[in-house]
């Protein structure tokens, strides 16, 4: 079980190391400023990315002042918001490095402390872990393919505009993947290749800065859910139906495991709650504006790019809500599992421990958007509802010439 957890973390680290971050760092006792000095590559990417953010914000301000095309402005907004989300996610991961390490150590300890069981029980555990790890692997691969397709489409979009225009007018009119304001002429033939490459590179960095922390979150949630499922199975079997006795030592170990799992959820809440809040608040805007661009753009490549972007936005916020809902339900299942066991066979004095765990388990472990609202499937439906409202408003405001 530990090997599979390590393997999943290795995949997460692969993405994070690309942008200059990593998990299980040895500098967890240092302050945020001290840690920052050892992540120069990350801050180089951060600076490069935010240069583009500033350029895009300046273009939006200019576009509003000069009353540029409504479609052009909405085309830039999803990209701008995504870069801000990438800043929030990676800075949170760096700031809470100590909590990241504490979570990993605690989860490894829980996985290592699984005692040797009979063959049937061992097979059940292996099947459960394989099922959820396979699901996690499948999800992360699909998202990576979607990101790759979206980035490729955005990178190729200028070529699909420049080439047809050249054949029609015999004139080369250069285009950029993303609209931005620069204090120089970015379409100068000597400058254009460098600006183009910088935009494509920062787009790749921004997506990985979003996707890397997301992968870590999905991995953490998957193994928390696995541990709750195993705990529920053990709780249900703690009392033997044929005898009024039960293993008190084992029950204490299960109670400690329950406490440790609740602590893992609290650590996850500290690490991700602030970035989840920003992500959730901006998801409605990203979904509605991206959907609007899919509807109004007349370039097939741009339409494909925004479609990939839309699918990524929907999948990302759905998975956050899905995993939050999964943890909530599996944590509440602990009380049901104890109740389903033959607890009535044991002495009244021994039932007190059972009742304490049942009462605590009835309060679910929940992930929130910094305490403002719970992250579950109900939150996802609310986000979709808000997105549809914004989309309907945009359609009403749009008047094509």
Per-residue pLDDT of the chain (401 residues), as tens digits, is 678 888 888 888 888 888 888 876 555 566 666 666 778 888 999 999 999 889 988 988 888 888 777 777 788 888 888 888 999 899 888 888 888 888 998 888 888 776 555 555 677 777 888 888 899 889 888 888 888 888 888 888 888 888 888 888 888 888 888 888 888 888 888 899 999 999 999 999 999 999 999 999 999 999 999 999 988 888 888 777 666 667 778 888 888 888 999 999 999 999 999 989 998 888 888 888 888 888 877 777 777 778 888 888 888 899 999 999 999 999 988 888 888 877 777 777 777 878 888 888 888 888 998 888 889 999 999 988 988 888 888 778 766 65
- CB proximity list for 121: less than 8 A, separation 6 or greater: none
DSSP code of residue 367:
-
pTM: 0.89
DSSP 8-state class, residue 174: -
Instruction: Evaluate the CA torsion angle 167, 169, 174, 179 in order and state its sign.
Output: negative
Residue-level pLDDT at 75:
80
Dihedral (CA of 361, 367, 372, 375) sign: negative
Residues 6+ apart with CB under 8 A from 243: 345
Total residue count of the chain as it appears in this document: 401
Alpha helices in 66-191 (DSSP H): 70-95, 97-112, 119-169
Distance in angstroms (rounded) separating the CA atoms of residues 275 and 150: 23
In whole angstroms, give the CA distance from residue 382 to residue 317. 11
Domain count, the chain: 1
Of 177, 146, 147, whose CA–CA distance to 76 is shortest? 177
CA nearest neighbour of 210 among 389, 377, 66, 82? 82
Cα dist. 357→118, 232, 246, 335, 352 in Å?
A: 26, 12, 16, 7, 9
CA 175, CA 120: separation in Å to the nearest integer?
63
Which structural domain, as residue segments, surrounds residue 198? 2-397
Record the tokens describing residue 349, joined without a space: 């004095």
Distances (CA, A) of 358 to 35, 132, 198: 42, 26, 56
Distance CA 302, CA 293 (A): 9
- Residue pair 84/111 in contact by the 8 Å Cβ criterion: no
């Amino acid at each position: 079980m530990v090997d599979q957890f390590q393997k999943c973390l290795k995949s997460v680290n692969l993405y994070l190391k690309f942008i200059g971050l990593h998990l299980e760092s040895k500098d967890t006792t240092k302050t945020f400023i001290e840690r920052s000095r050892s992540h120069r590559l990350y801050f180089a990417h951060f600076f490069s990315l935010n240069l583009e953010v500033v350029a895009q914000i300046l273009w939006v301000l200019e576009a509003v002042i000069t009353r540029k095309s409504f479609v052009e402005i909405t085309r830039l907004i999803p990209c701008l918001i995504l870069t801000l989300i990438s800043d929030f996610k990676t800075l949170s991961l760096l700031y809470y490095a100590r909590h990241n390490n504490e979570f990993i150590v605690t989860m490894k300890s829980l996985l290592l402390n699984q005692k040797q069981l009979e063959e049937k029980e061992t097979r059940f555990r292996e099947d459960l872990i394989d099922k959820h790890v396979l699901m996690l692997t499948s999800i992360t691969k699909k998202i990576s393919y979607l990101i790759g397709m979206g980035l490729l489409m955005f990178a190729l979009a200028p070529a699909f505009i420049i080439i047809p225009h050249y054949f029609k007018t015999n004139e080369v009119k250069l285009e950029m993947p993303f609209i931005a304001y620069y204090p120089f002429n970015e379409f100068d033939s000597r400058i254009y290749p460098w600006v183009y490459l910088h935009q494509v590179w920062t787009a790749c960095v921004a997506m990985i800065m979003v996707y890397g922390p997301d992968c870590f979150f999905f991995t953490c949630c998957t193994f928390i859910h696995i541990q709750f499922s195993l705990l529920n199975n053990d709780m249900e079997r703690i009392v033997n139906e044929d005898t009024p006795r039960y293993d008190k030592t084992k029950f204490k170990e299960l109670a400690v495991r329950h406490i440790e799992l609740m602590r893992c959820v609290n650590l996850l809440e500290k690490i991700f709650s602030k970035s989840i809040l920003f992500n959730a608040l901006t998801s409605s805007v990203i979904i509605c504006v991206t959907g609007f661009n899919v509807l109004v753009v007349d370039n097939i490549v741009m339409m494909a790019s925004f479609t990939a972007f839309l699918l990524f936005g929907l999948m990302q916020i759905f998975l956050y809500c899905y995993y939050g809902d999964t943890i909530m339900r599996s944590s509440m299942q602990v009380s049901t599992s104890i109740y389903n066991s033959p607890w009535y066979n044991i002495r009244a004095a021994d039932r007190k421990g059972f009742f304490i765990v049942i009462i605590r388990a009835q309060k679910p472990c929940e992930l929130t958007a910094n305490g403002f609202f719970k992250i579950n499937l109900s939150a996802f439906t609310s986000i979709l509802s808000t997105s549809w409202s914004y989309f309907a408003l945009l359609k009403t405001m749009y008047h094509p010439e």
